[in-house]
Amino acid sequence: MSIVVLVTGGNNGIGLATCQLFAAQPNYHCIMASRSLEKGKKAIASIHSSSTKASSSISLVQLDVTSDTSIAAAVEDIRAKHGHLDVLVNNAGVCPMDFSRSVLRDCLETNAISPAMVTQAFAPLLLQSKGTPRLIYVSSQLGSIQMRGDPENVAYNEAYKTYRASKAALNMLAACDAWEYRGKVKVFAFCPGYVITDLAGQREDKEKAGIAKSPDESAKGLFTIAEGKRDGENGLFLHDEKPGELYPW
């Protein structure tokens, strides 16, 4: 039986690369969650056209993580088709640069409140997994309170106040879920690194800087977790691919 993985925000950037990697594995079925079905269909077509493996096992579900109606419909769709879920990757996110009441509220809504609600809605399906269910929150080192205060950190002189607050909240949710689902679901916060994507409209700057990595590399880190290779780090804040590569909260 295939390992069933759901990736939110799977139509672009890190989510797309992650869907592509999972879909290419013979023992996985990847469900790309996209808030726009049109974008999702295009993304799946791009996976099929670029994949050397004709057998890419991938399907699409509409999911706007900020909509409870959309979340409930996605849960029902996956319950009807698969009856369970083995891996949930809460990847969808935004990175606004401004700081105001409405911008902070929207960012917290997408990056923290929504993944919490997605997890709560999909938890019954995760608990139906016949293997070891795994729950991954795609966070950021910018969400680490300890690293915020470290002058040696590469992002020490960057503000990112709105985004940092949202990812710090997300990290706490991951830590709380690790406790809540202890013995039942392995839970991880994961920083994908500094990655060339459309996030915050910084693609060109990142390409020019030459220090950002490709989404494919982040996908490998997520795959390693899904494979159980980092189960010993359940409840912690991971980055990169190898056991021991951890960030402080």
Contact positions toward ligand NAP, by CB under 6 A? 8-9, 11-15, 35-36, 39, 63-66, 91-95, 110, 138, 140, 191-192, 194-195, 197-199
Residues belonging to the active site: 163, 167
**Which letter, b or e, does each residue of 137-161 get, where b requires 16 or more Cβ atoms within 10 Å of its Cβ?**
bbbbbbbbeebbeeeeeebeeeebb
Query: Residues 2, 84: contact at Cβ < 8 Å?
Result: no
3-state secondary structure of 29: strand
Q: What is the Cα 230 distance to its own chain's centre? A: 16
| Nearest distance in Å: CB 111, ligand NAP | 6
Question: 37-50 and 13-23 are packed helices; what angle lies between their axes, rounded to 10 degrees?
Answer: 50
Instruction: Please report how close the Cβ of residue 57 comes to ligand NAP at its closest, in angstroms.
Output: 20
In the bound state with ligand NAP, the residue whose beta carbon lies nearer, of 128 and 153, is 153
Q: How far is the CB of 191 from ligand NAP (least distance, A)?
A: 6
Name the minimum Å distance from CB 38 to ligand NAP: 10
DSSP-derived 3-state class of residue 7? strand
List all residues 6 or more positions away from 188 whose beta carbon is below 8 Å from its beta carbon. 134, 135, 136, 137, 174, 225, 230, 233, 234, 235, 236, 237, 238
Q: How far is the CB of 140 from ligand NAP (least distance, A)?
A: 4
| In contact, 32 and 65? CB cutoff 8 Å | no
Q: How far apart are CA 65 and CA 119, in angstroms?
A: 10
d(CA 232, CA 186): 9
Nearer to ligand NAP, 129 or 195 (CB): 195
Indicate the residue among 16 and 85 with the shorter CB distance to ligand NAP: 16
